[in-house]
Amino acid sequence: MSVLVNKDSKVIIQGFTGSEGTFHAGQMIEYGTNVVGGVTPGKGGQTHLDRPVFNMVSEAVENVGANTSMIFVPPAFAGDAIMEAATAGIQVIICITEGIPTKDMITVKEFISDKDCTLVGPNCPGVITPGEAKCGIMPGFVFKAGKIGIVSKSGTLTYEAADQVVKAGLGISTAIGIGGDPIIGTTTKEAVELLMNDPETEGIIMIGEIGGQLEADAAKWVKANGTKPVVGFIAGQTAPAGRTMGHAGAIVGGADDTAEAKMKIMSECGIHVVASPAQIGSKMAELMS
């Protein structure tokens, strides 16, 4: 069992023939991900990395049964790429692109609200189900199959947490990098909910950062509905108030947006909060023993 992606996912790459798309598609194929083709307007009919290239996502759905899309399209065109994938019937859309204008994402969010699809990202590392499908830019070798799900706003902390979990002998069911932009497809709460409902996931790691309400919303949901242990960490504990820290969404707008406030809310909701990322793996191992 897995969440969002698995060995049966039929993955296409939007922006397939560009440098980023080519590199990461190659890495995904090497990992064993079922990449069935890609889309680059104007290059339909060609072959790239021994896979067919299509002009439109709808052609990839029709010809190779694509149901999952990875988007490596420049920021100015990425919003349209997401909407094209949703219109074509792609079920899981993972947008890696960083720097999409916020106004474009407002349009995208509204557009896909009534579509039967799940958007992960943008500005995210992607989703990986170890041993089955790597749909993203994460280093696949860090992730080994197991029973712990990871939800994270931070790419590098996703890899750090996975490494610790693997070294603790637990392994990962699915890791979801939700992205750090102000407007994203899948929220922390929604990702935690997916893992909480996955029978193969026995514990969840939730990594957040300063800014916004995503972690507080997720914590309240866990308090009301949680059935599995959750370990939490908030990055940015020493960040100056009001300063954006790396991610566009990591700006403290009010008293509840600080790391301290988030950690307090999470603790009150029964999440096992650690003060340092170095404690994530050991805390989860302790809870699972």
What three-state secondary structure class fits 273?
A: strand
Catalytic-role residue among 24, 48, 247, 272: 247
Residue 247 falls in the annotated catalytic set: yes
- Rounded to whole angstroms, the Cα distance separating 118 from 212 reads 21
Beta bridge partners of 38: 13, 53
147-164 burial string, b = 16+ CB within 10 Å, else e?
bbbbbbbbbebbbbbbbb
- Rounded to whole angstroms, the Cα distance separating 3 from 151 reads 11
- Rounded to whole angstroms, the Cα distance separating 246 from 207 reads 15
Backbone angles phi and psi of 6, in degrees to 5: -155, -170
Task: Specify burial of residue 217 (Cβ count, 10 A radius: 0-12, 13-18, 19+).
Answer: middle
Beta bridge partners of 95: 71
The catalytic site residues sit at: 247
